[in-house]
Amino acid sequence: MTSCATPRSEGAARDAAMRRGACPSLAKPMQTGDGLLVRLRPATGSLSLAELRALAAAAERFGNGILEVTARGNLQVRGLTATNIAGLASAIGEAGIAVAEGVAIETPPLAGVDTDEIADPRPLALALREAVSALDPALKLAPKLSIIIDGGGRCHLDDIVADLRLKAVETDDGVAWLLSLGGTARMARPVALFAGEEAVPGLLAVLRRLAAVGDAARGRGLDAEAVKNELAGETRQPAGLILATEPAVPVAGLHRLADGTTVLGVGLAFAQADAASLTALLCKAEELGAAEIRFAPGHGLFVLGLDRAAAAVVQRLAFSLGFRIAPDDPRNHVATCAGSGACASAMMETKAVARVVVDAAPELLDGSVTVHLSGCSKGCARPSSAELTLVGAPSGYALVVNGTASVAPSAYTDANGIRSAFAQLGALVRKNKDAGESARSCLTRLGAARIAAAFEQG
């Protein structure tokens, strides 16, 4: 086991294991192309550096040593087998890591730290989690149902899809919580405006409505007007409320908060890191005073507790280890699923193709365009639309322009032509982009037919 600190005593480890109990995701791992996969959400919203080092060591010992941070900011361990799941579970318990159970209740990665927040969402999230857990009988809800409780701030979750969303807003009467149904913050349907003490009972009422529909019901399927009417006697109506939100701050980079605190954001290259590289980064960060790790949407993590100089040192090390460290890193704008070899459904080595895209078509990756590489038509890495989506297929690769992986493609190429196809797309932007124009604006102006022709020409 790789280590840079004194391990906990055996007695303390046993006590921690007894306290934590079993993790549902460990009890029900997912079968993938490279073995079993376990997805973990820290119950406290963060891990200490020692806890994450222990988890990395366990991933190397019991899995294939690959850890992932998902688009929603969850941690995944890959390459497990049925015989070593118990070993991973024991290692998690020995490290004292508490894993969240039940319905997914998500808060922004810098909740309680982000000095631009309207309100800290963590107390409300904890109260809701306890209220849901206390229900007897328990509600039967959709396995993938998600609730976002967002206090605002620089690292908000407006672009993350949720079934139910509570967003802190400022009103003439103080802070209130806006409840919306389904989708991102921009697309969700607002149904109620709660004072703080009203929020948990209001959410429970909506969850009961979902459970009554059936255990496959999702927020997008609820009748917004019916929910408004049900809650009308308990809360104010959100009519006329205007939400002005800036884009969320990219994870990668050095972030200086309003109170002078420095937070280091590090992205995993194409969503993955090997245990050895992650451990090396954690050891240096811990040596320089880092206290806490928080996982972030966009396949990254925040390191808290470093001063500005120390954060810069750790950032340089992260770069040398292959992590993303800057908002202008072109890899920030390529979304990849696990790909063939790691997923039985995938028909593309997405990580290898991602490196080809970065090398062959840097003109596309100015931050205005997302290139989505999907091993199959399910589009797991990015359910929403992307400007360019490449989909693995039995006969080769299919390009979708301004769509999801599941829609009809505009062009095709084979494995041998993928580099030249993207090189042609890069050249198309380079030759036609006006001064100051973004790659996205250029592609929009040129149109899908011309993009498809250039791709197939390659």
Convert the pLDDT of each residue in 155-173 to its tens digit.
Answer: 999 999 999 999 999 988 8
Task: Confirm whether 86 is domain-assigned.
Answer: yes
Tokens (6 digits) for 324: 């993303």
Convert the pLDDT of each residue in 213-227 to its tens digit.
Answer: 999 999 999 999 999
Helix (H), strand (E) at residue 191:
strand 189-194
| Phi, psi (rounded to 5 degrees) for 395 | -95, 0
Judgement on whether residues 300 and 183 belong to the same structural domain of the protein: no
**Among 281, 299, 320, which residue terminates a domain?**
320
Judgement on whether residues 163 and 209 belong to the same structural domain of the protein: yes
As a whole number of angstroms, the distance between CA 364 and CA 370 comes to 8
Place of tokens 């802070």: 175
| DSSP class of 76 | E
Q: Which is nearest to 210 in space by CA: 258, 150, 261, 147?
A: 147
**DSSP three-state, residue 179:** strand
Judgement on whether residues 207 and 125 belong to the same structural domain of the protein: yes
120 burial (CB, 10 Å; 0-12 / 13-18 / 19+) is middle
Query: In terms of DSSP H, where are the helices of 326-438?
Result: 350-360, 418-432
Judgement on whether residues 258 and 219 belong to the same structural domain of the protein: no
Cβ contact 94:17 at 8 Å: yes
Give the pLDDT of residue 57.
97
Cβ contact 364:406 at 8 Å: no
Report the chain (458 residues): mean pLDDT per 10 consecutive residues: 45 34 62 88 94 97 94 92 94 93 94 94 96 95 95 92 95 91 93 92 96 94 93 68 75 91 96 96 98 95 97 98 95 93 90 96 96 94 92 93 95 94 97 96 97 94
CA distances from 240 to 187, 340, 382 (A): 16, 48, 32
Task: Confirm whether 19 is domain-assigned.
Answer: yes
Judgement on whether residues 386 and 304 belong to the same structural domain of the protein: no
Task: Confirm whether 325 is domain-assigned.
Answer: no
Q: Which is nearest to 45 in space by CA: 120, 106, 104, 89?
A: 106
**DSSP three-state, residue 313:** helix
Give the pLDDT of residue 421.
97
**Among 175, 202, 231, which residue terminates a domain?**
231
- Separation of first and last alpha carbons in the chain: 47
Judgement on whether residues 182 and 260 belong to the same structural domain of the protein: no
As a whole number of angstroms, the distance between CA 437 and CA 213 comes to 48
Q: Cis ω on the peptide bond leading into residue 137 (within 30° of 0)?
A: yes
Judgement on whether residues 268 and 293 belong to the same structural domain of the protein: yes
Q: Which is nearest to 402 in space by CA: 410, 394, 392?
A: 410
Judgement on whether residues 291 and 336 belong to the same structural domain of the protein: no
Residue 227 belongs to a domain with what CATH number?
3.30.413.10
Task: Confirm whether 236 is domain-assigned.
Answer: no
Task: Confirm whether 243 is domain-assigned.
Answer: no
**Among 179, 202, 231, which residue terminates a domain?**
231
Q: Give the other-Cβ count within 10 Å of 413's Cβ.
A: 21
Give the pLDDT of residue 241.
62
Cβ contact 217:208 at 8 Å: no
Judgement on whether residues 270 and 316 belong to the same structural domain of the protein: yes
Q: How many CA atoms lie within 13 A of 147 on its CB side?
A: 26
Judgement on whether residues 71 and 144 belong to the same structural domain of the protein: no
Radius of gyration of the chain (CA): 23
**DSSP three-state, residue 433:** coil
Judgement on whether residues 256 and 206 belong to the same structural domain of the protein: no
Domain of residue 411 covers: 332-457
Task: Confirm whether 246 is domain-assigned.
Answer: no
Q: Which is nearest to 26 in space by CA: 70, 65, 69, 63?
A: 63
Question: Residue type for 455, please?
Answer: F
As a whole number of angstroms, the distance between CA 82 and CA 134 comes to 32
As a whole number of angstroms, the distance between CA 336 and CA 269 comes to 10
Helix (H), strand (E) at residue 440:
helix 439-446
Judgement on whether residues 114 and 95 belong to the same structural domain of the protein: no
Residue 302 belongs to a domain with what CATH number?
3.90.480.10
Task: Confirm whether 327 is domain-assigned.
Answer: no
Per the structure, the count of domains in the chain is: 3
